[in-house]
Chain A
Amino acid sequence: MEQELVIQRNEVRLVNYIIRRMLYAIPILIGVNLITFTLFFVVNTPDDMARMHLGIKRVTPEAILKWKQERGYDKSLIYNSAEKGADKFTNTIFFEKSTSMFVFEFGRADDGRDIAHEIKTRMLPSLAIALPVFILGLVSYITFALIMVFFRATYIDLWGVVLCVAIMSISLLFYVIGGQFLISKLWHLVPISGFSGGLDIGKFLVLPVIIGVFSGSGASARWYRTIFLEEMGKDYVRTARAKGLSESIVLFRHVLGNALIPILTGAVVLIPSLFMGSLILESFFGIPGLGSYTIDAISSQDFAIVRAMVFLGSFFYIIGLILTDISYTLVDPRIRLE
């Protein structure tokens, strides 16, 4: 009975905590929105945007005005001195464009395409790369780190660390170009780049996933190794050994479980951001994902997309942080959310 009460109380606490964090998120998102807005309009005026979209040659002032009116860019930016009362702030580009974001209404891009639809269709290809890279990465980095720890102070550990440092010192771009050259161009094992919505998607994903996992392995495996080694020095490990447990049981059953807490911190925070895709992998492998959506929008001065993507990015990041906190309580009963 008492135990049930404790669990219930914990659940209420957790829900309270999540609600509180969600409320904290609102001012953060408004702030992010304001900064994006200011930075964007410091560089581009609505007139510049209109000129960019109407074509660089011969754009009449009437056409610019019409373009701005159609898209609501003909108002004051943040403060409208012509209006009265609260309208001074609400009848502005900033207010009108920002409020709809909080109900996830992204509207249309300046070229007329529906942003929500665009994000939905681009999210899946991004996820098709990011999710396998994330899962396979996590599994292989932990395995590699465990092997190094198991063989610590032998040549395997030494060369493993050397390899990690070498891998993390080289840029992703090198792996992409090198991988495409070796595996696709010389050995013709998989296509160089491309994407397909059908069942043959696998052959297009193999290379980017391998490269994505490999390029991240150096830094992650070395970090996980450090975490494991730190755990190895703790008292409970000595106790386990004193009981006569074999080295592999000590490592895989006791150390791995306890080392998962810091690993989780780094991993869970990334999960929501997986939707956002990877810029380099997606552009080099011709994957129609979200990775380059923001960059393309910045270069075409499409504020509607930039705003939506920055908002979504910060939203996912906040969700990631909340998930991390919750996952703490799940793996470590000592931690309580207040």
Chain B
Amino acid sequence: MLTDNNPNLMMVLEKNPNFHGETYPVGDYKNNLKSDLFKDAGEPLPFIDKIMFYRDKESIPRWNKFLQGYYDASGIGSDSFDQAVQITGQGEATVTKEMSAKGIRLEEAIATSTYYVGFNMLDPKVGGLTESSRKLRQAISIVVDYEEFISIFANGRGIPAQGPIAPGIFGHKYGKEGVNPIVYNWKNNRPSRKSIETARGLLAEAGYPNGIDIKTNAPLVLYFDVTARGPEDKSKLDWMSKQFQKLNIQLVIRSTDYNRFQDKIRQGNAQIFEWGWNADYPDPENFLFLLHGPQRKVGSDGENAANYDNPEYNVLFEQMKNMKDSSERQEIIDQMLRILRKDSPWIWGYHPKDYALYHEWYTNVKPNKMSHNNLKYHRIDSNMREEKRLHWNKPVLWPLAVFLIVLIVGLIPAIVIYRKKERGAGISNSEKRGEIG
């Protein structure tokens, strides 16, 4: 229960003395005996008496306090990423030697979110369900290289999306079955992005050979609507322009603040835009409705920002939305994904991965992005924490001594000069000259 609520400084949760009583889940206990997560199976909950959440606005002090042991868990900012995480030869992320020496461990969870680039389907150039506009969108989807984006801008923390549904949600398929055949080939047991030549071919079929509109003979210029951002995002936008340049398409960045951006989307004035979605509940409906025609932004003020409206998809959506998870539902979802991939109303973007670091004394943690009532399962070994804190943070006093010595030594010549001045003539010759001048 919340016993101290000072949102400017900290919030404190304490064990409720009248808790109705629960025990740690036993689950598939026999098969999981080796897992640390099952050490407490059957024990009465909760394990922690008091949890204090501090408000620390800046990432640098927050990170350093985690390293000193004053915070039990921490996310990883991009500044400290290389210090904390290393990627092994197999592409797996582990903590660095420095971290593992401190007993810090890494847990990762794929967020039930998706970041995408949408095409406004009402736009005369990139929108519509005609064959040529479809091919234009498919060509662009191929050249925007999200593998590169993830490695440059997200420190590898993400997976390229094959469709709107995030991993871990019913309807998402892994491996060959889940691959988007419009953008990827399946090669050597992994998805491999189609070549730029394929994209150029599609672009030519769409009526823009080498980025030139055959009807007007003018170069193809597209507009990318984003929210006004700081200098650190400029490189992301430069990167995006570079992707379009692969097809000789000129991308004009139209940056505004978030209010204006939302206005543009509501009125359907954007052409290509960047947005994201974080699931409210773990069901495919919560992703697929983002492309449901009757829920489009323009006219119905829904969440379908791309204003995608395909009657075939809409019928399947209505059929799927209230079904229980089953093979029939999966089949309908597969069908819907096929339609979506072909129409490409979004560049599917990527699903971010969340990394979190935990100290050795903090156990029973299995991060997930959906349920938030897990604190009762967590366990803290406060003795170990106290010991480590003391061990890691022994005060170093010699710099203070050095500072004092330097100060005293520095004073000696000053005293000498002072004495000379007091004993000598009232005004020195140089000063006399200065005053007359």
Interface positions of A (Cβ within 8 A of B): 43-45, 48, 51, 57-58, 60-61, 121-122, 147, 150-151, 153-156, 177, 180-182, 184-189, 191-195, 233, 238, 241, 244, 246-248, 283-286, 288, 292
Find out whether the CB atom of A189 lies under 8 angstroms from the CB atom of B396: yes
Q: Which residues of B contact A182 (CB under 8 A)?
A: 399
Chain B CB count within 10 A is highest, among A121, A181, A188, A193, for A193
- What's the least CB distance linking B410 to chain A, in Å? 9
Find out whether the CB atom of B422 lies under 8 angstroms from the CB atom of A187: no
Q: Tell me, in angstroms, the Cα distance from A192 to B206 when the chains sit together.
A: 59
Q: Which residues of A contact B418 (CB under 8 A)?
A: 150-151
Supposing A57-B303, A156-B414, A247-B421 touch, asked if A189 and B58 sit within 8 A by C-beta, the answer is: no
Q: Tell me, in angstroms, the Cα distance from A285 to B54 when the chains sit together.
A: 12
Find out whether the CB atom of B64 lies under 8 angstroms from the CB atom of A188: no
Find out whether the CB atom of A184 lies under 8 angstroms from the CB atom of B64: yes
Q: Tell me, in angstroms, the Cα distance from A44 to B400 when the chains sit together.
A: 52
Q: Kindly identify which residue among A155, A180, A191 contacts B60, using a CB–CB cutoff of 8 Å.
A: A180
| Binary contact readout B347-370 vs A (1 if CB under 8 angstroms, 0 otherwise) | 000000000000000000000000
B322 at the interface (CB under 8 A from A): no
Find out whether the CB atom of A286 lies under 8 angstroms from the CB atom of B55: yes
Find out whether the CB atom of B57 lies under 8 angstroms from the CB atom of A283: yes
The 4 closest A-B pairs by CB, nearest first: A288-B8, A48-B259, A193-B61, A187-B396
Find out whether the CB atom of A121 lies under 8 angstroms from the CB atom of B426: no
Q: Which residues of A contact B280 (CB under 8 A)?
A: 57
Q: Which residues of A contact B269 (CB under 8 A)?
A: none
B406 at the interface (CB under 8 A from A): no
Interface positions of B (Cβ within 8 A of A): 6, 8-9, 54-58, 60-61, 64-65, 67-68, 70, 257, 259, 262, 280, 301-303, 393-397, 399-400, 413-414, 417-418, 421-422, 426-427, 430-431, 435
Q: Kindly identify which residue among B9, B60, B395 contacts A189, using a CB–CB cutoff of 8 Å.
A: B395
Find out whether the CB atom of B417 lies under 8 angstroms from the CB atom of A185: no
Chain B CB count within 10 A is highest, among A147, A154, A186, for A154
Q: Tell me, in angstroms, the Cα distance from A185 to B65 when the chains sit together.
A: 8
Seed contacts A153-B430, A188-B394, A188-B396; 4 additional CB < 8 Å A-B pairs: A185-B68, A192-B61, A193-B58, A292-B57
Q: Tell me, in angstroms, the Cα distance from A93 to B24 when the chains sit together.
A: 55
The closest CB in chain A to the CB of B262 belongs to A51
Chain B CB count within 10 A is highest, among A51, A57, A194, A246, for A194
- What's the least CB distance linking A50 to chain B, in Å? 11
Find out whether the CB atom of A154 lies under 8 angstroms from the CB atom of B430: no
Find out whether the CB atom of B393 lies under 8 angstroms from the CB atom of A188: yes
Find out whether the CB atom of B426 lies under 8 angstroms from the CB atom of A288: no
Find out whether the CB atom of A151 lies under 8 angstroms from the CB atom of B414: yes
Find out whether the CB atom of A192 lies under 8 angstroms from the CB atom of B68: yes
Q: Which residues of B contact A121 (CB under 8 A)?
A: 8
- What's the least CB distance linking B313 to chain A, in Å? 20
The closest CB in chain B to the CB of A185 belongs to B64
Q: Tell me, in angstroms, the Cα distance from A19 to B53 when the chains sit together.
A: 49
Sample of 26 A–B contacts (CB below 8 Å): A44-B259, A57-B280, A61-B301, A147-B414, A151-B414, A151-B418, A154-B417, A185-B68, A187-B399, A188-B68, A189-B400, A191-B70, A192-B61, A192-B64, A192-B65, A193-B56, A193-B61, A194-B54, A195-B9, A247-B421, A283-B58, A284-B58, A284-B60, A286-B61, A288-B8, A292-B57
Q: Tell me, in angstroms, the Cα distance from A154 to B422 when the chains sit together.
A: 15
Supposing A44-B259, A185-B68, A193-B65 touch, asked if A153 and B431 sit within 8 A by C-beta, the answer is: yes
Q: Kindly identify which residue among B57, B395, B413, B426 contacts A286, using a CB–CB cutoff of 8 Å.
A: B57
- What's the least CB distance linking A253 to chain B, in Å? 15
- What's the least CB distance linking B223 to chain A, in Å? 22
Supposing A188-B395, A192-B65 touch, asked if A151 and B57 sit within 8 A by C-beta, the answer is: no
